[in-house]
């Protein structure tokens, strides 16, 4: 049976761990040749190696998405290696303890906006010309439920994710006539490595996170990867400018 992404070339940022790594595995399983990238060179190459060991096609390119020269070089490498770029998942992002807005250092603002929002824009800036040249493509940006409803514990992170959704919707209007679909995924708390470690070390903290979700549990990385795969694939061919909320009911209304 043919894979859903047979013959496609996909780029996934932030693929050294977490949702990005799970997405790279899912795309490769469905037949895509993947370009995986993140700042951590060894971990990113490990993602590519595991895909190749499983019979898939993958290369890794260490990239800081807040640096335009590095992003430009990344896209050039992808095109030089595979000749085209059909899908891009702009997943790279950072998150940290914030506290009150008035107490957050300016350096933290620069770092989180530089990666989460500027980085998403820079990737799109260099992905889009490749897709325009070939007559179409699909971009999925990684947002968050923090881009749908405010997060009291992470106002700057939420700001970047609201921005990602605004960028997604606005760019989708510009590029849909050219056959390029741009959408976003908005996951709630997901069992990435850092959350798994937190839940293991402090089960009560995990219970508090799960308690914000009507389904009563935290999402798995694979669930987010599958939603991203659907949006990126031809199965979502009429889906444009959508922010797919994947939250177990967290943002529908007052829960607890």
Structural element, H or E, at residue 230: helix 221-232
82, 108, 157, 175: the catalytic one is: 157
Backbone φ/ψ region at 235: left (φ over 0), alpha (ψ -120 to 50), beta: alpha
The residue with tokens 């590029």 is 175
**Sequence-ordered alpha helix ranges (H) in 135-220:** 155-175, 193-201, 203-210
The residue with tokens 């219970």 is 207
The residue with tokens 């922010």 is 243
175 is catalytic: no
Structural element, H or E, at residue 60: strand 57-62
The residue with tokens 């699909």 is 138
Distance of alpha carbon 74 from alpha carbon 5, whole angstroms: 21
The residue with tokens 């499983």 is 54
The residue with tokens 């987010």 is 224
- Known catalytic residues are 157
């Amino acid at each position: 049976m043919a894979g859903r992404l047979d013959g496609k070339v996909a780029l996934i940022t932030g693929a050294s761990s977490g949702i990005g790594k799970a997405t790279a595995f899912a795309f490769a399983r469905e037949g895509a040749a993947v370009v995986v990238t993140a700042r951590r060179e060894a971990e990113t190459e490990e993602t590519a190696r595991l895909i190749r060991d499983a019979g898939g096609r993958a290369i890794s390119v260490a990239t800081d998405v807040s640096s335009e020269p590095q992003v430009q070089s990344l896209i050039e490498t992808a095109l030089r290696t595979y000749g085209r770029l059909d899908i891009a998942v702009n997943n790279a992002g950072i998150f940290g303890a914030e506290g009150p807005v008035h107490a957050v250092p300016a350096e933290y603002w620069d770092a989180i906006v530089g990666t989460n929002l500027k980085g998403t824009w820079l990737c799109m800036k260099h992905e889009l010309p490749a897709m325009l040249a070939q007559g179409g493509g699909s971009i999925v940006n990684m947002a968050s439920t923090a881009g749908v409803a405010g997060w009291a514990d992470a106002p700057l992170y939420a700001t970047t994710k609201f921005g990602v959704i605004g960028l997604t919707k606005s760019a989708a209007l510009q590029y849909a006539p050219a056959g390029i679909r741009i959408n976003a995924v908005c996951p709630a708390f997901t069992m990435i490595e850092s959350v798994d470690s937190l839940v293991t070390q402090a089960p009560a903290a995990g219970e508090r996170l799960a308690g914000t979700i009507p389904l009563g549990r935290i999402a798995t990385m694979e669930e987010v990867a599958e939603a991203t795969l659907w949006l990126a694939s031809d199965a979502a061919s009429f889906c444009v400018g959508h922010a797919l909320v994947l939250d177990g009911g967290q943002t529908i209304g007052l829960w607890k």
